[in-house]
Structures are given as structure tokens and as C-alpha cells.
A = this chain, B = another copy of it.
Amino acid sequence: MEEIKVVTIGGGSSYTPELVEGFINRYEELPIKELWLVDIPAGKEKLESVGALAKRMVEKAEVPIEIHLSYNRKEALENADFVTTQIRVGLLEARALDERIPLKYNVIGQETNGPGGLFKGLRTIPVILDICREMERLCPDAWLINFSNPAGMVTEAVLRYSNLTKTVGLCNVPIGMKMGVAEMLGVDSERVYIEFAGLNHMVFGTDVYLDGERITDLVLDKLSNGTGLTMKNIVDLGWQPEFIQALGILPCPYHRYYYQTSEMLEAELQEMNETGTRAEVVKELEGELFELYKDPDLATKPPQLDERGGAYYSDAACRLISSIYNDKGDIQPVNTRNNGAIKSLPYDSAVEVNCVITRSGPKPISVCDLPVAVRGLVQQIKSFERVASEAAVTGNYNQALLAMTINPLVHSDSIAKQMLDEMLEAHQDYLPQFYSTELSLNKD
């Protein structure tokens, strides 16, 4: 790995400048020679705009990273060392449907672990598995760093249905929680260490340390009494203090969908009526970002990008890549094969857990187990991820209905069926595996 080649699939994403900035900042330790930004022809305008900005950024920073734009994935993958994926099949329009259709049935769409996440998975997994197959052939020693959502389900699918072993799933929730705790305590985030365990968007902080001292109880007290950790995209309703005390571990912002379903549903319905769903809000934000990117004088990541919601994602990717490349042996929370780190989850399933990051990849640190109270919900999401992955690969209608029905946000098999049918039709263009001919569903 003398001259590092990084390939970013979905390179036209509005997040790309953060990624470029991350690589620039780390150039000394991570001397990337080529950064390939790859997208589909339909995304040409965005890719060119983002690509031009990227070129201005490396030029201004005076680092010799070559920026390549490409619409030919195979050409780009050849001899890559790291492949990052940040794709959004069907774009924000598809996400808006993932949110709006369930809300018609008084169900939260939830674009990762809810009905919306099911459809995001059905659209995304086949594309990711295609990339895996190409990588096996074109760059068999490369690492796949996936941060396309639903990252947990995608990692599960890659572990289960691909031969690629060098794969990691990445999320910004853990780093967001760490930042949130630091802010809550008024300390520098470097002094905070959180023991993470769970699944993607279903992760817990099982212990929190400040300068190596365990301060979990203090953080739970603050969380009980205040407003807690927030994320740009999730309403904060506060927690019942006694519930948090009894839980004994730090929930992530996404847990609100499951422990406060009724209130979150109401908030989402109201939001939809007032400002549109999150996808629609994000779409507007992205439009503004791309306007900014066009400015030929802009040669740094614009501060507005941090408002976007996925903050830290790309930086987490850069940090991970550098730790692998440099065999750092530092600790980062990633999505990887469990290997016994969480006792009550299957040995071979994808989990989100603190790992030692080495040149041979992430090695999970044992957390023993999650408290008994949360094992059910966590296993339910794992069941959902596994059944959904299988449906994504097989295009089996019944499996898709099963995944929809067992999702904890869905409370009726008949509503599940209605949503499924409406969403299958709405996303038909991106779900070829479910259609033998253009118009007929594969039911068995």
C-alpha cells in the first residue's frame, strides 16, 4: 500500500467536502495519492460541482491528492485500497416516500430501523452487494467502509451474503453521543470515553468515563434531569427520569422512536404538516449547499454543512481509514461481526461496538452483555435486519411482509401489508428483484 487509492461511491453527495477536508487534515499520516469520486450519470451535475470544489480544496491546502471524477465504477475500483460508499438509491425523493407512506397509516417511517429503513435496505443492499462482487475481482485487498444507511442492515447483509471479509460499517451516532456528553459536562470531548454496544441506530453507552474515571451515574443523572443528547434530525422530548435511572445505560437519540413511539409519531405528523418530512427539509438544505459549492471562490468546507445532520460521518471515515492504514490500535465504535463481544447476540451477526482498529481490521472489545431490559428490543431490531436482508437478496414478497410486520414500530399485520404494497409500488423502479416483469410482483 505504497500509494493510497481511495474510491468514494456516491461521490456527488453533499457530504463529500467533509470527507475531503478529513483527508487533507490527515495528509501527513495518510498520504492519499488518488481520490476517486464515483457517481451515476444521473448525478453528473452534483458530482461535477462537488468535484470542482474538492479540487479547489486540495489545491488551496497544497496537498498532492489527485481528485478523479468517474461514472465508471469498475474503472475506479481497479487496485483501490479503500472504498467508501455513501449512496442513496432513489435520492431524497425515495426517502420522502419512505416517510410519507407510513405516516398515512399512523406509523413512523424511520429511515433506518423502521418501515422506511426496510425499503431503504431493499433498494440499497443489492447495489452494495454488486460493489462487493466487483471489489472481490478488481481490488481484493481493499477495505469497504460503508456509511450508506441503513448501515447496520447493510453490514449484516455484507457479512451474510458476500465473500468480502474486509468490511466495516460506520455511523455518526456514537461520535455524536460523545460530543453531546462532552457538551453536557462542559469538557473537551477528547477527555470522554464511552463504551458503546448494540446495533446501528440502536446503540447504548454502557459506561461513560471522564479522564478514565467512571462517571456513568453522573451522566444518567444529568440525562434524567435535563434534555439529554440531541441530534439535528431527532426531536428531543426528554426522558422519564426514573426510566433512565432504571435503564442504567445511556440510550442513543434513535431510542426515542421505540420508547416514545406515541409522542414521536405525533411530532412527525405535525412536522410533516408544517415543514414537510425530514427528507423534504434535507432536500432544501442540500439545494442551498450545492448553491454554495458552485462558488468558484469557495475552497474549504463551508460551515453550513455542519448543519446538515450527518456531521462527523465523513470525519469518522477518515479517522477509521487512517487507523487501518497506520495500524494504530486505537479504539473506535464501528459496525462489525460480533465475535462474542455482546453475549446475547449471535456470534456471527453485525453489531456496533468499540473495536481496536488495526491493519487487519476492527477487533471487538468484549462488553459482556447489555442489561437484560434492553436485550429484547435489540434482538427485535436484529431479527428485523436479518429478515429484511434476506428479503433484499431474494426479492421474496412474504419475507418482506415478515420484516415489515416484526418491526417494532408496526403494530398490525394488515397495516403492514397495506404499507408494503403501497411502498413496493412506489419504489418499483429501484426494486427489480421483486418484479419478474415490469408489472407483476414475485409472490410465492
Contacts and interface: CB of A to CB of B under 8 A. Distances in A.
Interface in A326-350: 326-327, 329-331, 339-341, 343-344, 346-347
Nearest to A339: B366
Contacts of A412: 259-263
A401 interface: yes
A345 to B, nearest CB: 9
Given A212-B360, A213-B359, A242-B443, A414 B260 contact: yes
A416 interface: yes
Interface string A91-112: 0000000000000000000000
A211 interface: yes
Interface in A34-55: none
A377 interface: yes
A245 interface: yes
B373 A387 contact: yes
Oligomer copy total: 4
Contacts of A329: 330-331
A412 B366 CA distance: 31
Given A346-B344, A376-B383, A366 B363 contact: yes
Interface in A209-256: 209, 211-214, 239-240, 242-243, 245-247
Interface residues of A, number: 74
Contact of A347 (B240, B246, B261, B343): B343
Given A242-B398, A401-B246, A417-B240, A377 B380 contact: yes
Contact of A341 (B245, B259, B366, B380): B366
A187 interface: no
A411 B346 CA distance: 27
Contact of A401 (B240, B262, B375, B406): B240
Nearest to A343: B340
A338 to B, nearest CB: 8
A327 B212 contact: yes
B242 A417 contact: yes
Contacts of A367: 363
Interface string A375-411: 1110111111011000000001111011101101001
Contact of A374 (B364, B366, B383, B417): B383
Contact of A246 (B259, B330, B399): B399
Given A240-B413, A245-B398, A365-B365, 7 more contacts: A207-B360, A243-B416, A339-B343, A340-B343, A363-B367, A373-B383, A376-B408
